[in-house]
Amino acid sequence: MSNSCLSHLIHHQAKKYGERIALKYRDYETESWIPVTWNQFSERVWKVSEALIALGVEVQENIGIFSQNMPECLYTDFGAFACRVVTIPLYATSSESQVHYILEDASIRYLFVGEQYQYDVAFRVQNLCKTLHRIIIFDPKVKRAPNDNNSLYYTDFLKLGEEKNYKNEVESRTAASTDTDLANILYTSGTTGESKGVMLHHSCYGAAFEAHNTRLTRLGEDDVIMNFLPFTHIFERAWSYYCLYRGCQLCINLRPQDIQKTIKEVRPTAMCSVPRFWEKVYAGVQEKINATTGLKKSLMLDALRVGKEHNIDYLMNGKTPPAWLHMKYKFYEKTIYSLLKKTIGIENGNFFPTAGAAIPVAVQEFVRAVGINMIAGYGLTETTATVSCEWLDDFRIGSVGRLMPGLELKIGENNEILLRGETVTKGYYKKEALTRQVITEDGWFHTGDAGYVKDGYLYLTDRIKDLFKTSNGKYIAPQAIETKLVVDRYIDQISIIADQRKFVSALIVPEYGQVEKYAKDHHIAYTDRKDLLQKPEIIELFKMRIDTLQQEFAHYEQIKRFTLLPEPFSMEKGELTNTLKIKRSVLIKNYAAEIEKMYEE
């Protein structure tokens, strides 16, 4: 299969798999999953290609897809690739200013939108946009504005291709597609500054597929994949394309907040996710253990101890577990571990790629101890996702696995990770100066991440841009401290403050339910959440827990003061990116008064 395989991937698979199920999506009215066969998928992709040509979309023109995960996103993507059109995904939660910026920057004439929110934003932006010509709506339930007589529903858009015969035009474009064609421009949400459009060519995906073929050997036609992260995110996008390339079945989760329900309906064999998903599983299990007593509690604690000893102390280090340990492990596998997996909805689990942020060591140990194949990895939008990843028994706690085949890595100044290879972007869209800053003339891409390689495994230490320097001249890696503390069951979100300050402090969003339960159990009276978080007993509780967790850090790295916040960090207030990373500069502005108070003498 050529490197421009995205252009004919779905049609190629339809010839091979025909009436097998390729996709499923959830019908919220009947609460059932609707199957789509490979033949139906191919037919819809073909219709999209014809309709795009009927609209007059040119070779290598940019179109936008502003939607949460829906099958229509994939029909539109692959229909566009087949007629050499570039697709630009926008996060479903994007604000008007973000949408406006991307539409103008990429000169988008046609924007596909998902549900009511995306339509409303797009319609308001359309009046300000010089380029946007037409909005095409996926969800037929969307109510159009009374004065909107230009936008099209998706079903009407598909009919455009039937008005005359575009078959030859589609075929000739597909035949002319090459691996040097641009496939996507992915705008990174960025924790600093404005969005940058990362250009990914068909060759990037082709090289990524080849690299994954040699590593992910246990993925195949029988795998059922849950889509949970947004398709806009390179991790989910590249993974989903690859799963389709391997003939897997994709189950498309529309709303991220529904995942705990939908995962139990689908019971997938694989799902890529961010560490936050597993942190919540870990916190739930810790909570269960804390609420249990007697023999049941002893068994649960012993199961975790045995799992860690068997899978980490022995197997991870290439040693054979003793027979007694193996027998105990097998007993817990049939009882406690299997019950836990069934409760989450992953008892059919094959493996679970996890990346996008640092994975707390306690979480990684726990997941591996109970026999869940979490595949920790590292990647960037600029590298078409995976740079390195673990594989089944080939892992090290704290590492992000081995470098993918076809990539070169070297450690530069300040321990920065530099990469070179076919999966690396050719640059940022219309930003040549920035491209030259991050990609050297001989092709080395500066990741901005610091790390080191030991025994063939890559370890990340921190984000170079995120390193804080205290006013005493000491360097602090905030992510290391945050990752250590966020596993605590009383902490939901945390942001370290230290740059140009005398000492380290923290803004903490508590796990409100846990704090309220603690107050109830300890007969602490309060009027509202704000009042509760100012109670000396609650502050003392957090102080004690933070001091316990940060013992391993140097004195100057330890949190001296903290503020408990009555409201979580949110996208609405601009405090989180679309991938839920913290925008430190916004937090510093939004909580300026609280921060200053922590540094008062």
Exposed / middle / buried, residue 143 (Cβ in 10 Å: 0-12, 13-18, 19+): exposed
- Bridge pairing between strands 468-469 and 196-201: unpaired
Span 527-531, mean pLDDT? 95
Nearest to 199 by CA among 411, 445, 8: 445
217 and 69 fall within a common domain: yes
214 and 322 fall within a common domain: no
Domain boundary (271, 296, 320) is at: 271
| CA gap 188, 590 in Å, rounded | 23
Q: What is the pLDDT of residue 554?
A: 82
Full-model pTM: 0.87
Which structural domain, as residue segments, surrounds residue 180?
5-25+34-271
Nearest to 54 by CA among 139, 172, 134, 158: 158
Cα angle vertex 237, ends 231, 241, to 5°? Answer: 130
Span 125-132, mean pLDDT? 92
| 155 within 8 A of 140, measured Cβ to Cβ | yes
| 119 within 8 A of 91, measured Cβ to Cβ | no
Residue 393: how many CB atoms within 10 A of its CB? 11
Span 269-281, mean pLDDT? 92
Domain boundary (205, 236, 271) is at: 271
Nearest to 111 by CA among 188, 55, 59: 55
| 489 within 8 A of 445, measured Cβ to Cβ | no
Distances (CA, A) of 167 to 51, 83, 161, 162: 11, 11, 9, 10
Q: What is the pLDDT of residue 151?
A: 97
Give the DSSP H or E segment for 77: helix 71-82
Choose between 524 and 95: higher pLDDT: 524
Distances (CA, A) of 20 to 32, 37, 87, 153: 18, 5, 27, 28
Does the pLDDT at position 377 exceed 90? Answer: yes
Span 219-248, mean pLDDT? 96
61 token code pair: 């023109």
256 and 296 fall within a common domain: no
| 498 within 8 A of 468, measured Cβ to Cβ | yes
348 and 477 fall within a common domain: no
Does the pLDDT at position 524 exceed 90? Answer: yes
Q: What is the pLDDT of residue 189?
A: 65
- Bridge pairing between strands 152-153 and 134-137: parallel
Please state, for a pLDDT cut of 90, what percent of the chain lies above it. Answer: 83
Does the pLDDT at position 2 exceed 70? Answer: no
Does the pLDDT at position 46 exceed 70? Answer: yes
Q: What is the pLDDT of residue 3?
A: 38
User: Does 366 reside within a domain?
Assistant: yes
175 and 280 fall within a common domain: no
* pLDDT tens digits for range 82-117: 999 999 999 998 888 889 999 999 999 999 999 999
DSSP string across 547-563: HHHTTTS-GGGSEEEEE
User: Does 428 reside within a domain?
Assistant: no
Cα angle vertex 297, ends 295, 302, to 5°? Answer: 95
212 and 327 fall within a common domain: no
User: Does 117 reside within a domain?
Assistant: yes
166 and 190 fall within a common domain: yes
Span 39-57, mean pLDDT? 98
Does the pLDDT at position 252 exceed 60? Answer: yes
Confidence tier at 514 by pLDDT (50, 70, 90): very high
User: Does 207 reside within a domain?
Assistant: yes
Exposed / middle / buried, residue 387 (Cβ in 10 Å: 0-12, 13-18, 19+): buried
Q: What is the pLDDT of residue 190?
A: 58
| 370 within 8 A of 338, measured Cβ to Cβ | no
| Mean model confidence pLDDT for the chain | 94
Ramachandran sector of residue 455 (left: φ over 0; alpha: ψ -120 to 50; beta: rest):
left
Does the pLDDT at position 37 exceed 80? Answer: yes
* pLDDT tens digits for range 335-372: 999 999 999 999 999 999 999 888 999 999 999 999 99
244 and 280 fall within a common domain: no
User: Does 436 reside within a domain?
Assistant: no
The lowest-confidence range among 183-197, 330-344, 394-408, 431-445 is 183-197
Question: Which three-class secondary structure string do you get for 461-523?
Answer: EEEHHHCEECCCCCEECHHHHHHHHCCCCCEEEEEEECCCCCCEEEEEEECHHHHHHHHHHCC
Q: What is the pLDDT of residue 552?
A: 83
375 and 473 fall within a common domain: no
296 and 232 fall within a common domain: no
194 and 93 fall within a common domain: yes
Q: At 322, which amino acid appears? A: P
Could you tell me the CATH number of the domain that includes residue 141?
3.40.50.980
176 and 313 fall within a common domain: no
Domain boundary (388, 409, 430) is at: 409
Span 169-178, mean pLDDT? 96
User: Does 457 reside within a domain?
Assistant: no
Q: How many domains does the chain have?
A: 3
| 20 within 8 A of 37, measured Cβ to Cβ | yes
